[in-house]
C-alpha cells in the first residue's frame, strides 16, 4: 500500500471545484482514497495539494502555515461573493483614486490584521459550509478572525474612468481570504472592490514547480512526492535506527530526544516511518506512515 501512497500537487484549472479534481484523480489512480487540503474556489487556479491512499491521512497533519497568491482586484464595484462570480451590488467610479491613497490602504491591510471571511467561504457553521447556507437563502455572519498578511504587493495597475484593476501578489498565513482583502480594500477607499482572478502559487513548501495539470496526470498518474518525500519536505527530520523504526511502526513511544515540535522520523535509507512529537517524557507518534500492520 505504501508504494501507492503519496501527494499529488495539482495545478487546478479554472471552472472546476476542488471536489471535481478529487473525482478525476480517483479515476486516474484507480482508488477511492483521494482527498485534498486547502479548498480552492472554482474561479481560482493553481496549487492544490491532494493525498492518495495513506497520503490522505497525512493531509490532516500537513500544516501549511503560509500561502502565496497572485490575484487581480477590481476597484469600483462590489459583488455578493466578493469575486467576479457574484452579482454586482454597487458600482462607484474609482478612476479618481490616487496611487498613494490605494497604497496607504493596502499598508493597513498588511501585517497582523482582523479579517472577516466572505459569507460564501467554505467555513463550517453548525456543520454546514457557509456558502451552502447562503445559497439556501440564510443570512451568514462570520466573526472576524486574526490572520497575517506578510506581503501585499502591487505588481501592475490598469485604469479606466470607472475601474482600477490591480495585479497583486499576497504572501499570507493560512486562513487568509484574498476575496476579503479585495472587499476590504474597496470598502476602505469608498468605491467597493472584488476579485476578478486568483491563482495560488505556493502552499507551504509546495509550489507550481511541483504541480502538474490534470491532463498530465491522466496520461501519467504518478506522485509529485512519495509519502517519504512528503514527510521529509514538510517537517524537520529525526534520524532513527532500524530498531527505533520498528517500534514507531507499532505505535510505541521512545525516549525523548530534546525535540521541539513535530519531526519526521527517517531511517538511514530515507524511509519515513512516522511523525513524532515529544509529550512529557515520551517521544510519541502523531502519525504512522508505515504501520506494522500494513
Instruction: Give me the chain's average pLDDT, please.
Output: 91
pLDDT band at 3 (very low <50, low <70, confident <90, very high): low
What is the structure's pLDDT at 292?
77
Place of cell 469575486: 83
Q: Bigger pLDDT: 72 or 42?
A: 72
Element (H, E) at 242: helix 242-249
SS3 per-residue string spanning 118-163: CCCCCCEECCEEHHHHHHCCCCCCCCCEEEEEEEEEEEEEEECCCC
Q: How much is the average pLDDT of 131-156?
A: 82
Active site (annotated) includes residue 242: no
Residues 204-218 have pLDDT tens digits of 889 999 899 999 999
Of 11, 41, 82, 83, which is the active-site residue? 41
CA 179 to CA 109: how far, in whole Å? Answer: 13
pLDDT band at 196 (very low <50, low <70, confident <90, very high): very high
CA 220 to CA 101: how far, in whole Å? Answer: 49
Q: Please, which residues bridge with residue 286 across strands?
A: none
Residues 123-133 have pLDDT tens digits of 666 666 666 66
At 248, list the grid cell. 514507531
Domains, the chain, in order of start with CATH, read 2-64+204-226 (3.30.2350.10), 66-200 (3.30.2350.10), 235-288 (2.30.130.10)
Region of 15 (left: φ > 0; alpha: ψ -120 to 50; beta: rest) is left
Amino acid at each position: 500500500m505504501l508504494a501507492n501512497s503519496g501527494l499529488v500537487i495539482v495545478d487546478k484549472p479554472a471552472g472546476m471545484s476542488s471536489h471535481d479534481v478529487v473525482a478525476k484523480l480517483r479515476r486516474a489512480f484507480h482508488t477511492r482514497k483521494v482527498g485534498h487540503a486547502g479548498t480552492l474556489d472554482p474561479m481560482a487556479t493553481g496549487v492544490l495539494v491532494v493525498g492518495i491512499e495513506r497520503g490522505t491521512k497525512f493531509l490532516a497533519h500537513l500544516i501549511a502555515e503560509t500561502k502565496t497568491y497572485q490575484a487581480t482586484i477590481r476597484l469600483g464595484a462590489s459583488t455578493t461573493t466578493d469575486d467576479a462570480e457574484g452579482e454586482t451590488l454597487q458600482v462607484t467610479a474609482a478612476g479618481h483614486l490616487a496611487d498613494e491613497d490605494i497604497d496607504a490602504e493596502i499598508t493597513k491591510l498588511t501585517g497582523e490584521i482582523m479579517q472577516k471571511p466572505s459569507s460564501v467561504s467554505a467555513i463550517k457553521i453548525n456543520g454546514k459550509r457557509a456558502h451552502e447556507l447562503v445559497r439556501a437563502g440564510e443570512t451568514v455572519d462570520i466573526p472576524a478572525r486574526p490572520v497575517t498578511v506578510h506581503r501585499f504587493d502591487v505588481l501592475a495597475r490598469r485604469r479606466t474612468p470607472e475601474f482600477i484593476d490591480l495585479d497583486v501578489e499576497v504572501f499570507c498565513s493560512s486562513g487568509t481570504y484574498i476575496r476579503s482583502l479585495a472587499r476590504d480594500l474597496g470598502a476602505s477607499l469608498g468605491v467597493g472592490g472584488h476579485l476578478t482572478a486568483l491563482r495560488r502559487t505556493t502552499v507551504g513548501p509546495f509550489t507550481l514547480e511541483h504541480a502538474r495539470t490534470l491532463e498530465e496526470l491522466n496520461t501519467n498518474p504518478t506522485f509529485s512526492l512519495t509519502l517519504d518525500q512528503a514527510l521529509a519536505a514538510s517537517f524537520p527530520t529525526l534520524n532513527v535506527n532500524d530498531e527505533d523504526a520498528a517500534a514507531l511502526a507499532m505505535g510505541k513511544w521512545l525516549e525523548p530526544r530534546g525535540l521541539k515540535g513535530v519531526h519526521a522520523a527517517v531511517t538511514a535509507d530515507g524511509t519515513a516511518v512516522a511523525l513524532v512529537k515529544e509529550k512529557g517524557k515520551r517521544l510519541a507518534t502523531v502519525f504512522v506512515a508505515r504501520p506494522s500492520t500494513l
